[in-house]
Amino acid sequence: MTDWDDGQAPPAERPPSVGRLVEQISEQATRLVRAEIALAKAEAAEKAKRSGIGVGLIIGALVVVLYALGVFVTTAILGLNEALDNPWLSALLVGLALMLLAGAFAGIAVAQLKQASRRPETIDRVKEDVTTVKEGMKR
């Protein structure tokens, strides 16, 4: 038996009304915007963390450079004082080792700051979402 007056079976599903479609679009757009905002916040927090690490390593490198300069000054004094004896050579080697350490800190710091300064991917995704919605509205 059927509920329809014409004796035919009812369709499996009725297509959603325009009002329902608009409601669904509104709900999905709201969820999308909230998700993109949450992702942007997470990316900003990651950027701040990487910047903090980079700045901390730069400060560490500067401290090591100051110690290295102190060692080089000591090396020059010992070199002039001893004139060809070996105590100044050991101080020179220590100074070179400190400079290599400072270079390693600076290299890591630059890498951290480069990663932190990249453009967030969220901006590109939001632009793609806006373009997709605009194209969908034209159809």
User: What's the confidence (pLDDT) of residue 64?
Assistant: 93
- Neighbouring residues of 40: CB distance < 8 A, sequence distance ≥ 6: 120, 122
- Neighbouring residues of 58: CB distance < 8 A, sequence distance ≥ 6: 105, 106, 109
Count of CB atoms situated within 10 Å of the CB of 112: 20
pLDDT in tens, the chain (139 residues): 445 556 666 666 778 788 888 888 888 888 988 888 888 888 888 888 888 999 999 999 999 999 998 887 777 667 656 656 767 677 777 678 878 988 999 999 999 888 887 776 777 777 787 788 777 777 6
Q: Nearest 5 degrees, angle CA 45-CA 48-CA 54?
A: 145
Calpha distance 130→52 (Å, rounded): 33
